[in-house]
Amino acid sequence: MSKNRTHPTISTATADAARTTLLPFWQRPLAELNRQQWEQLCDRCGRCCLVKLEDEASGELYYSRLSCELFDYATCRCRDYPNRSARVSGCIELTAAAATLDWLPSSCAYRLRAANLPLPAWHPLISDRTDSVATAGIAVNCGIALSPAELAQLPTPPDAEDFLIDPL
pLDDT tens sequence across 109-123: 999 999 999 999 999
With 70 as the cut, is the pLDDT of residue 141 above it? yes
Q: So where are the chain's domains?
A: 25-165
% of the chain beyond a pLDDT of 90: 35
- The mean pLDDT of 91-102, rounded to a whole number, is 81
pLDDT tens sequence across 36-77: 999 999 999 998 888 888 888 988 888 888 888 898 888 888
9 versus 65: the higher-pLDDT residue is: 65
pLDDT of residue 87: 92
Comparing 32-41, 96-105, 134-143, the range with the smallest average pLDDT is 96-105
83 versus 2: the higher-pLDDT residue is: 83
pLDDT of residue 122: 96
Residue type, 33: L
- Confidence band, pLDDT 50/70/90 cuts, at residue 105: confident
pLDDT of residue 52: 87
- The mean pLDDT of 13-22, rounded to a whole number, is 57
Mean pLDDT of the chain: 84
- Angstrom CA distances, 135 to 123, 127, 165, stand at 11, 11, 20
- The mean pLDDT of 85-91, rounded to a whole number, is 89
Strand partners, 72: 77
- State yes or no: cis peptide before 118, omega within 30 of 0: no
pLDDT of residue 13: 54
Cα torsion 71, 136, 35, 13 to 10°: value is 150
